[in-house]
Structure 1
């Protein structure tokens, strides 16, 4: 019989097994696969394990790593928010009411008229002039001077609190020391009535009656001056149309256009 091939005296000796480093120790790799899978997987692929063992170790360690991430406790705030309260009953969620969208006119501020009565016009002048307002004297027989900033405001229009855009501001002023009237456009200086002359003494009657002169007879001119026409119809009826200034019976009510000739038509 022939001896087996491996026992041939000239067969080469098998190669010695490779040296194992300290980081390739199975116990270290397994421990890292459990505690810190990424490092364990990296060392497993540098170890002397078979390829199938490396694949199995990688899959198992990866599943273990993903499972540990999924089983981590949620943040404390989330757990408190999701934890039901034993004493408080769940209240129904209110239905949100749609808020109307404000229009541009609602969001814009409308300037209002401040209270100007009693103050000097110098403080009221900015808002009056800015809105094309005017200032007048409270007394209609008093004129405003060139400078009236120290005059006091007696009346204002519009009233305090009203929108300035609703009306043009108007103020009525009085000079310092002069009281305000009861209403605008009042007369301050009333005309002084002229003194009535005393009646003339009556003449005492004399013993002799006064001589009465005879009344003169009315002349033709006096008769013509007494002519009076009520209207142009009467003038036409008398045949005096058109009647001119200086003619008997001419009057201003008959000459409407004032040219000196009445009842022309």
Structure 2
């Protein structure tokens, strides 16, 4: 006889608790990002065998696709063999277009060279460049400038030719001479220079005559006296005249005012 069957079928063995590395989301992320680790985690999970095999195959294909594909060829590597096979003429570099020049502000007007022009011509040329008027003066200090000086010629200009003018504040001046008159060396020179004043005569020293000596026979000076003409000649003052130091009546026998004549 056979033993009676059990009234109920034995229940399936309980599954062990799932670890954190067996979580399906973690395994799927590992299969996509890091296939070798994902496959290892899939086989330690509680998945069915069919699911483990399918995950292993798909992850392995995903892992092998980048390894089996050809690496991209560099453009320089392809160009070198072609250059070695058939040298080709180097292309002519196309000219680089020059950028348009930036607009420059209008240049300031320049003073023209008016030397030798009649004043009317210089006045017209200059006053077209400035807001004011062209001033004029005579090049000679002793020649006045007439009111009608349009035909007078320009000898000098105080603003050199080519100098930039500020139209609002420029006030150039020209120095004129009458037609047929030569220009001076410098403006302000006299056309007819005055003759130099005579040099003053050197002062003359008036010679004063000493008063005649008295009839007592003393000399002209109390400091000098001569006893006779021999003393006068010895002193080197002969002849001695009236008024000279040491003159005396006893030295002038004829009384003509000159003693010790011989």
TM-score range, shorter chain: 0.3 to 0.5
Pair member with larger Rg: 2
Structure number with higher helix proportion:
1
**TM-score, length basis structure 2:** 0.37
